Structure 1
Amino acid sequence: MFCFFLLTGTFVFAQDDVDVKGNTITVREKAPVWPGCEGSEDQKTCFNQKLMEHVKNNYKYPRNDKGEFIRGKVVVKMHVDEEGKTFVNSVKGDQKQVIAAVENMLKKIPEMKPGTRGGKPTKISYTLPLNL
């Protein structure tokens, strides 16, 4: 009877992505999965590639009064929440028009499979330096 309860307790409390070795507990974190990267072996690399593709395809360079493209650097702080939705915390840069264009581009990021920590959905934060 004792062995039954011991084995049942071990199986009931086992979790994916959590390792316990002695006094050390290791909890693995997995990044969000961009649509189309579900079957990829390296989902982190796929995520980065899809994000840069998104920037390249959706960023519209603003123009000044003379019709010239306005370029600039921005730092984006954002996160992907527990439901896979992207939220922009801040966009900082030296050109207001570039900041506005980046914010518009980021609104078009698709919903994705959320990141996990210890097998449970969790918020994952990112800081992106962009040189546009």
Structure 2
Amino acid sequence: MKLKIILTFCIIVISALSYAQNNDKAKDLIVLKKGKLTDGITIKEIKSKKNDVSINDPIITRPPIFETCKSLSDIEEQKDCFTQTLQKFISKKFNTSALTILPTGRHKIDCFFTISNEGEIANIDIYSNYKIAEDEAAKLISKIPNLEPGEINGKPKEISYWLPITFMLQ
């Protein structure tokens, strides 16, 4: 019983530390001016209710990777490449013209999704104060190309992500 309590406490502490947000607001901010999107999207890994593993889990032998990241052998380089490639994809494909009807100010869209054992985007959940923002983000996330799935001990494993998109309408 004592071991269960200690293990539960460790998991809670590790989870809290793993998902702490950085205070660098420039990284979390997309400024929308005249229909143009500037870079500044952060991607964070999450554990889902299905006991998926986080990409930060030490037992992961290979994170999910885009085609452009296949040549990298280091896990940290692959994670960075994944993040940068996804940021570029979001910045390029996000339909900013649909969001210009929202009120001026700061807005946030929380995007949750899973990269399946087959490398497909699945279990998309989007949350925002505005339905139109949710719809645009859902369209965008569903267009992410197939990836090579993450692996543990050479076997494909589902990995879930949280992608917060914060933008300012001026």
- TM-score w.r.t. the length of structure 2 is 0.56
Residues 71 and 98 of structure 1 are in contact (CA less than 8 Å); yes or no, is this contact kept in structure 2?
no
- Hey, what does 1:64 align to over in structure 2? 101
Match of 2:151 among 110, 116, 120: 116
Provide runs of 4+ in structure 1 moved above 4 Å: 68-71
Q: 1:130 to 1:79 in 2, by over 3 A?
A: same
1:27 partner SS = coil
1:116 partner SS = strand
Q: Which amino acid aligns with 1:103?
A: A
- Give a deviation string over 1:83-106, Cα, whole Å, max 9, x none: 100114310111211111111111
Q: Which amino acid aligns with 1:64?
A: I
Cα offset for 1:28? Answer: 3.1
TM alignment of 1:85-96, pairs within 5 A: 85-96=120-131
Match of 2:63 among 31, 39, 45: 31
Select the structure of larger CA radius of gyration.
1
Gapped regions of structure 2 (runs ≥ 5): 1-57
**Aligned residues between the structures:** 105
- Hey, what does 1:53 align to over in structure 2? 88
Q: 1:103 to 1:69 in 2, by over 3 A?
A: farther
CA RMSD of aligned residues (A): 2.2
* Structure showing the higher helix proportion among its residues: 2
Residues 60 and 150 of structure 2 are in contact (CA less than 8 Å); yes or no, is this contact kept in structure 1?
no
- Give a deviation string over 1:11-66, Cα, whole Å, max 9, x none: xxxxxxxxxxxxxxx8334210112110124110000000000110000111329x
- TM-score w.r.t. the length of structure 1 is 0.71
Q: 1:48 to 1:39 in 2, by over 3 A?
A: same
**Identity within the alignment, %:** 25
- Hey, what does 2:166 align to over in structure 1? 131
TM alignment of 1:6-25, pairs within 5 A: none
